[in-house]
Structure 1
Amino acid sequence: MKKLSWLNRFIYFVNSIIAFLLLCSYLLPYISPQTFPLLSLLSLLVPVLILANLAFVLYWLIKLRKQFLISLIVLLIGFTTVTSFFRISEKQVILNDDLKVMSYNVRLFNLYNWKPESSDSIRKNIVEFVHEKSPDIVCFQEFVNDYSGSFKYKYRFVNSKNADNKRIRFGQAIYSKFKIINSGSINFKSNTNNAIYADIVKEKDTFRVYNVHLESLKIQLDQENLGEEDSEKLRKRLQTKFGKQVDQVNLLLENEKNSPYKTIICGDFNNTAFSWVYNQLKGDKNDAFVEAGDGFGKSYDYFLPARIDFILPNEAFTVNNFKNYFVDYSDHYPIMTRLQLQ
């Protein structure tokens, strides 16, 4: 077999770096982001690393070169990571008595005009969408308190705080068709982020639903200047943001540990399925997308197939179906699953 040309040697060098980074990323779910905040950025890049390694495999196969093995081996080592990134077929078990649970970050109903439509128009669209899909339980993040009466559900728990400018109160909300017998707030040390919960009774079963909105990392990888000076600022900012996420996750897990009921965790994690945050919150629960979704599961309007919104039921529930709805009313897309109580 002929030796590699200079161009292909360079391509193989790049390939080796990309494969090594993907290999390193497999360790991130087990390393607290407080330890290596810049390294934890890799969790946001895993989709790119997977796609790049797949591209290298195809490139070397077309060239009939054994160099395809380096990326193929790394992809096989992280098989569960790769399969959680993309699902081929949707599970479709639709029952009349299963539980429909939706999670949706509504971004304040466009109150600050991020989109050209008016806030009233966006709110109307979201209300109509939710009523059309008719989830039994819906968890909203970045929910404006003033709009709490817009959704026609018999039971609800809305927890809000004053924004920095004091103009509005917003936070999280849980709406339910079934009776809420208890509710509470975990009270993160943050101006806007929080987790709330509601204990809900469906027939003879009682379960706890958590609605989580973790600290935002405020990272735009397509815009971030990673020069030497800015990298230090980025490192400090990430250390602070990741530190808050770690504290918030620990508070939520402590509450869940003391819950007398089976649990479902829903919400905007502001982190990916390849992160320590996700790994801690998932524990031995199921990821509804992994169990029953298809495609990339993209839940955030970004140039990468970013999945940062999750529904994680514990093993007391069977996941029958999962859907992403690509409606353009927020910077997040609503997700919904159908669950069957065992």
Structure 2
Amino acid sequence: MSREYYDDYRHGASRKRRKSLPGSVFNGVMLILSVATGAAMIVTLLAPFVHPGRIWIFPVLGLVAPAVYVFTLLITLYWIIRWRWRIALPLVVLLLAGLFKVPLFLKPELRRHYGEETSFGRGVITLLTFNVRSFYNDRGQWSFDGVTEVIRRVNPDIVCLQEFNRTSSKAEELDSLLSDYDRTVVMEGNRRDPVFPLALYTKYRILGKSHSILGPMKQDGQSVWVDLLVGDDTIRIFNNHLHSTAITVHDDKYLSEHQFLTDTAGGAKIKNIFRRFRDNSMLRAAQADTIARAIAATPGCKIVCGDFNDTPMSYTYRVMAQDLDDAFRASGKGYSYTFRGFMDVLRIDYVLYSEDLECLDYQVLYDVDLSDHYPVVVRLRPVKR
């Protein structure tokens, strides 16, 4: 063959090698990301089973579980398109394991019903749970009248309020406005008390109530049960407000607007946020253990609701929801979030119930901006046996 042929072949091979170099670098970066993403996915799946006091990273990744799952899915699709099954297959296995957790966050609405009013029939229990932030919205505006109007509009049979106003005068004023309801407040509290009261309003007869399940505490967080006579049945309602994450509005803005990227002290601030989140996750886990024992010791029909301040991929949720059904998982639609902040991705308010009940409907009232949480409305019905 001619010398020109070999020269052309040699130069062509060199060009191919040069062209493939950026691709090789990109694949190397993707491989590193794949390993990191796979490790993050494993930690996320294990987060509900590991006490936050052991390893701090578990509750952090549990907080952002949907983002970890989506990122893992995108990385997996890249390797499938490239036909690199040796890399893609382990990620596919992790995605399949995580698939069982997706209904805790997302319930695809396969059929939509437009303009149809749902009739639930007789014997339905309508429950509203709402962290009212002492009747101040997330802009610091007084929201007492708005909260009252929401309760009247929904007309629930049971109203569970968290972070109730500490002054007894507000409870008495709400009593007069909600004359169809009986009210029980666990503790009145005072302005120096770090613990916010819980309140329960109901149209049913109140048979009894507990003192604080968590006892006197120096940190916030509270839980109480109330027994109600519903028809011929006694139903125990657990109203809960677990310890706060202590992530402030400033922290939320600092993270969501990526201010840490240009802040010279960003590393120290991020570390401080993570430290507070870790410490408060440990406190919530301890509270959840105590409440879970009280729930497990309760025979018969029960509803557990309130502000858990933790996501479905957390130790707190797993312990609290043990042997109970989640109203969103049963009747929710779309992606559910209940906290007004942190980019509107966190579901931290729940209604759980025992097998004696069935869930007919689940709603988050996204048109209500009276707190830093949204109200959750659930309709339940006793199961006929």
Instruction: Specify the TM-score bucket, using the shorter chain as the normaliser.
Output: 0.7 to 0.9
Q: Which amino acid aligns with 2:370?
A: Y
1:87 aligns with 2:107: yes
Aligned pairs (5 A) from 1:190-201 = 190-201=218-229
Q: Counterpart of 2:283?
A: 244
Q: Which ranges of structure 1 fall in alignment gaps of 5 or more residues?
A: none
How does 1:34-53 map onto structure 2 within 5 Å?
34-53=53-72
Could you say what the CA RMSD is over the residues aligned between the two structures, in angstroms? 2.9
Return 4-13 or 141-150, whichever deviates more: 4-13
Q: Trace 1:1-342 onto structure 2 (pairs within 5 A).
A: 4-60=23-79, 66=85, 68-89=88-109, 94-110=120-136, 114-115=138-139, 118-119=141-142, 122-144=143-165, 145-148=168-171, 149-150=173-174, 151-163=178-190, 165=192, 170-184=196-210, 185-186=212-213, 187=215, 189-219=217-247, 220=251, 223=254, 233=272, 237-302=276-341, 303-326=343-366, 327-342=368-383
More strand by share: 1
Deviation at 1:238, TM superposition (A): 4.2
* Structure 2: distance between partners of 1:270 and 1:320: 25
Q: Write the distance in 2 (CA, Å) between the matches of 1:157 and 1:8.
A: 62
| CA distance in structure 1 between the partners assigned to 2:303 and 2:349 by the alignment | 13
Structure 2: runs of 5 or more not aligned: 1-19, 112-117
Deviates more, 1:54-63 or 1:174-183: 54-63
Question: Structure 1 residues 154-163 or 265-274, which shifts more?
Answer: 154-163
Q: CA 1:114/1:307 → structure 2, altered by over 3 Å: closer, same or farther?
A: closer
Report how many residues are paired: 335
Please, which moves more after superposition, 212-221 or 310-319? 212-221
Partner residue of 2:14?
A: none
Q: Percent identity?
A: 25
Contact 2:127 2:156 in 1 (8 A): yes
Q: Amino acid of the residue matched to residue 55 of structure 1?
A: L
SS in 1 for 2:73: helix
SS in 2 for 1:162: coil
Deviation at 1:134, TM superposition (A): 1.1
Q: What is the identity, as a one-letter code, of the residue corresponding to 1:129?
A: V
Q: Aligned-pair distance for 1:156?
A: 1.3
TM-score between the two structures when normalised by the length of structure 2: 0.78
2:235 & 2:286 partners in 1: Cα distance?
A: 25
1:132-156 deviations in Å (ceiling 9; x for gaps): 1111111111111432232334211
Structure with the higher helix share, 1 or 2 = 2
TM-score (norm 1): 0.87
Aligned-partner residue type, residue 155 of structure 1: D
Report the equivalent of 2:114. Answer: none
1:171–1:192 Cα contact (<8 Å) kept: no
User: Using the alignment, how far apart are the partners of 1:332 and 1:257 within structure 2?
Assistant: 28
Displacement of 1:30 after TM fit? 1.2
More displaced stretch, 181-190 vs 44-53 = 181-190
Report the residue type matching 1:147 in the other structure. Answer: K
Give 1:73 deviation, angstroms. 2.6
Maintained 8 Å contact 1:40/1:275: yes
Residues 115, 235 of structure 1: alpha-carbon distance in 2 compared, 3 angstrom cutoff: closer
CA contact (8 A) 2:321 2:352 kept: yes
Query: Which structure has the larger Rg?
Result: 2
For residues 29 and 321 of structure 1, the distance between their equivalents in structure 2, rounded to whole angstroms, comes to 26
Counterpart CA distance in 2 for 1:222 and 1:55 is 27
